[in-house]
Structure 1
Amino acid sequence: MSEVPFGFSNRDDDDDRKRGDEHGGTGGANNPFEFAMGGSGAAFDPSQLGQMLTSLGQMFSTMGQPGSSQDGPVNYDIAKRLARQQLGASVPPVSAGSQSAVADAAHLAELWLDAATTFPAGATRTVAWTANDWIEETLATWKRLCDPVAEQVSGMWTTTMPAEAKEFAGPMLGMLGQMGGLAFGSQLGQALGQLAGEVLTSTDIGLPLGPDGAAALLPAAITEFSKGLERPESEILVYLAAREAAHQRLFAHVPWLRQQVLGAVEDYARGIRMDFSAIEEAAQGIDPMMLTDPAKLEELLSQGTFEPQTTPEQQAALERLETMLALIEGWVQVVVSEAVGDRLPGAGALAETLRRRRATGGPAEQTFATLVGLELRPRKLREAAELWRRLTTDAGMQARDAIWAHPDLLPSSTDLDNPAGFIDGVIGGGTGEFDDPIAQLAETEARERREREAKRDDKPEDGAGS
């Protein structure tokens, strides 16, 4: 993991101790955050708080303009506005010709995919989006991805305040929450604005960002992407339509998958622990009134000032999410390769181009790493694709797709590094555990149900033994 959300950065305990020693501890008379965190050698100063409250009130009195409302830890109105500003004053609508080309490419891709996977078509409609459409249609999912992280970070202000400060700071706490929401919203808007201008489909980063059942391609971005690839744009469009349709099939017919992926992000957020010594260090010599300036607060956030400490629970959640996304992307690569076969002469080159785009940290990967705190390891992605490819060859398409029947049946991170044992299990050459994945799933669920019933029967009645 090389990135953490909203510009945060991780640092191990040795570095933290070294930093504290170099700066003579974490307290200081010029630390504007001292009252909030109970820093060493400083008393809470109500007069300073009153000054800050006055300035904050003046600032918020000028913010009652349309598009500045906030309901939650991130100001998404600001995010949306800034993202659209980055795209320019006017984004031309999708032409009728482009809409028709997208529809034809999707129809052809679905026909080819029918022979490459047991999952039927998952999209109920295919749409051609502009960059603005992408922002609007995916924002609901970005909210789910970003809110848990932002909630944990913003909550650190109040959870670390001493009781005396909380008593005096009541009105200011809500204002600080809005300030944090503005800063987070600004960072999100900048990231999404860049991504919206370059993303090719609604599932470019392996997540179902768009509405259920909607396969979406962005013709303007695809035209730009096609330049210099020495393949007809129509061929590239069909290939990308096949990738989008494959993602839609998987997410539509593996009902637990969406929750599993997004739930891993929430698990990560719940494990965030903050190291406020970094804030105190950054705050040395800074005017306390910086808290009234959203731009300066955003700068403080973007400099890696907040230092979440990686917990074992976080690391486990990140590994689950990383492995899941690698499995999704690897499966899509194999299925699309099977589907297009020799029908698209440039399919192999296109697959390699997209692989390199991901491996070098393309815009989608960088944005996801910045906002959520996860960076896909290309090695895991390649290993996942190889596992699905070998499984298709050795066990067949039916057995391969049956693995998605339950999350417990999926390969683990260890299996991606050493897939032979997993594949042997599926084809019956090893332990035989996965000879019939559906039967194994039914057996596992029956065993868990029996265990729950046994525990319930063993539980004493209310008042028993008293």
Structure 2
Amino acid sequence: MAQDDDRTPEEEFQELLKQLFGGGAAGVDPEQLSKMAGMNIDPAMMQTVMRHLQDAFTSGGDEPISWEAARRQALHIANQDDRGVTAGQRTDLDQAYTLAGLWLSEATTISQLAEAPRAITRGGWVEATLPVWQELAAPVATSIADALTRALQEQTPEDMREMVQGAGKLMRTIGGSLFATQLGAVVGNLSKEVVSGGDVGIPLMPSGQAAVLPQNFAAFGEGLEVPDDQLALYIATRELAHARLFRHARWLRLHVISQVTDFARGVHVDTEALEELASRFDPSEPDELRSALESGALLPQRTDAQNAALARLENLLATIEGWVEVVTEDALTRLPSAGRIAEAVRRRRAVGGPAEQALNSLVGLELRPRRMREAAAMWRAVTDAVGTSARDALWDYPDLMPAAEDIDDPAGLVARLEARARGEAPTADEMDDALAQLLAEAEADGDPDAGNGRDDEEPPGDSRPV
């Protein structure tokens, strides 16, 4: 853009905006931007912002979130100290997977995986799981980007709104890019903590795939005084149990993801906090917005509806992990250190690592199954009462899966399953009683068709099947 010494700073800024929002972001010089309208912006700092702008304008779409930026950031962190997988580690894990598969088949009727388990690097875990992270974070990311745009537009004086007409897209892009960068940092740091594909509790790996990160489970075993081969066998067994379950109950993956995204869609940005931040936001110094994203300051206190959604999700995750724990325990009765490793895993899942805590701040989501011990006790009671086949059949259909009430009262679930095994009719529940009462009231009112399943009026002609 040619310089004109006769133009005012406002005119220069307006010309710059025309270039930006006319699709010419790639041709804007960051050093030139730093001189506009009296702004004192470090050209080097603007390079990152301008790169995000270039990505946004060249893509031609309205997507505010740069998921490629999230991927780059996650891989950058994951690969910093990624030592890869040696041939020896791969061989050891292959042996552990083979033995784990045999022992697991003695503990569950759910069949083996069609695809061989893998040993993967931290970077490999990022690549495999990022599509699910993107799906989970998208509702919150969009909410933040939209709210930032609205807040900045409302903060703009009336006489300047026409001049900065296209600035909303700029702010939306910056907000979305910063969120994507923060998500990438969370996923990248998680890749240093997780020991397997199912370690976080939700189905992050593609369906039917199992994977272990040798570099991470070696670090996890430090201080446990457990032989490496026993630790590898435990982790491999637990990972295979998790992957087998999600492959068998194909509906379960969508069920979990739907509950997580439903919760995320209910997360609304604290408008007052964002408006206060937007009133002093400087695109050249995004640290304040980044800190607000990191700390969770833009996410207000949960509503009652969100707390209820989170409770449902926690019960679901606890039900899944409780089954995995019981099956893993039964498969590893011949492993001397199984009890010690299991307790370490339970403590680790209950507390969560730094990256999990960062995820909670970023999207307001806790993935720790608070009721895992109670759920495991339920599955143990079911196993002892009706055996592995009847227990595992509860995963065949969504309406058979134990509910939160069954975790509270395993005896009730056991009684129903034992009655079913004896061929007895199921005991009527509250819904059955209510339906029976409605039918009885209808009969008392003189409805001749009450309870026979027919409509009040028959259609003309013979409606019986031929």
Query: What interval of TM-score do these two structures reach, taking the shorter chain for normalisation?
Result: 0.7 to 0.9
Q: Counterparts of 1:124 and 1:191 in 2: how far apart (Å)? A: 29
Matching residue of 1:301: 293
Contact 1:149 1:266 (C-alpha < 8 Å) held by counterparts: no
How many residues were matched structurally?
A: 390
Give the Å deviation of 1:92. 2.8
Task: Give the AA of the match of 1:427.
Answer: E
1:14-163 → structure 2 map (5 Å cutoff): 62-63=47-48, 69=55, 72-87=63-78, 89=80, 91-157=82-148
2:342 is aligned with 1:347: no
Q: Counterparts of 2:189 and 2:303 in 1: how far apart (Å)? A: 31
Task: Give the AA of the match of 2:124.
Answer: D
Q: Counterparts of 1:268 and 1:377 in 2: how far apart (Å)? A: 15
Task: Give the AA of the match of 2:189.
Answer: Q
- The residue matched to 1:114 in structure 2 has which SS? helix
Gap change, CA 1:261 and 1:150, over 3 Å in 2: same
Contact 1:67 1:81 (C-alpha < 8 Å) held by counterparts: no
Matching residue of 1:362: 353
2:168 is aligned with 1:173: yes
Structure 1 unaligned runs (5+)? 1-45, 436-452, 459-466
Contact 2:144 2:175 (C-alpha < 8 Å) held by counterparts: no
Gap change, CA 1:424 and 1:114, over 3 Å in 2: same
Q: Counterparts of 2:341 and 2:195 in 1: how far apart (Å)? A: 13
Say which is worse superposed, 412-421 or 306-315, in terms of deviation.
Answer: 306-315
Give the Å deviation of 1:78. 2.4
Greater C-alpha Rg: 2
Task: Give the AA of the match of 1:305.
Answer: A
Task: Give the AA of the match of 1:359.
Answer: A
Matching residue of 1:447: none
2:188 is aligned with 1:193: yes
- The residue matched to 2:210 in structure 1 has which SS? strand
Task: Give the AA of the match of 2:228.
Answer: E
Q: Counterparts of 2:150 and 2:425 in 1: how far apart (Å)? A: 47
Contact 1:123 1:245 (C-alpha < 8 Å) held by counterparts: no
Give the Å deviation of 1:344. 0.6
Contact 2:352 2:368 (C-alpha < 8 Å) held by counterparts: no
2:179 is aligned with 1:184: yes
Contact 2:186 2:359 (C-alpha < 8 Å) held by counterparts: no
Contact 1:204 1:364 (C-alpha < 8 Å) held by counterparts: no
Give the Å deviation of 1:91. 2.7
1:387-466 → structure 2 map (5 Å cutoff): 387-428=378-419
Give the Å deviation of 1:302. 2.9
1:141-290 → structure 2 map (5 Å cutoff): 141-157=132-148, 170-282=165-277, 287-288=280-281, 290=282
Higher RCO (Cα < 8 Å, 6 or more apart): 1
Identify which of 306, 311, 317 aligns with 1:319: 311
Gap change, CA 1:120 and 1:169, over 3 Å in 2: farther
Q: Percent identity?
A: 40
Give the Å deviation of 1:133. 1.1
Identify which of 332, 349, 365 aligns with 2:324: 332
Give the Å deviation of 1:175. 1.5
CA RMSD of aligned residues (A): 3.6
Gap change, CA 1:86 and 1:396, over 3 Å in 2: same
Task: Give the AA of the match of 2:319.
Answer: L
Structure 2 unaligned runs (5+)? 1-9, 34-45, 428-452, 459-466
Give the Å deviation of 1:183. 1.3
Give the Å deviation of 1:199. 1.1
Gap change, CA 1:281 and 1:373, over 3 Å in 2: same
Give the Å deviation of 1:356. 0.7
Q: Counterparts of 2:53 and 2:207 in 1: how far apart (Å)? A: 27
Q: Counterparts of 1:50 and 1:410 in 2: how far apart (Å)? A: 61
Gap change, CA 1:176 and 1:117, over 3 Å in 2: same
Q: Counterparts of 1:378 and 1:307 in 2: how far apart (Å)? A: 22
Deviations 1:299-349 (A, max 9, x none): 2333433234534443333222211111111100000101111x2100011
- The residue matched to 2:188 in structure 1 has which SS? helix
Give the Å deviation of 1:221. 1.0
Gap change, CA 1:418 and 1:208, over 3 Å in 2: same
Q: Counterparts of 2:52 and 2:294 in 1: how far apart (Å)? A: 26
Contact 1:291 1:297 (C-alpha < 8 Å) held by counterparts: no
Give the Å deviation of 1:135. 1.1
Contact 1:425 1:433 (C-alpha < 8 Å) held by counterparts: no
Give the Å deviation of 1:427. 1.9
Q: Counterparts of 1:412 and 1:166 in 2: how far apart (Å)? A: 54
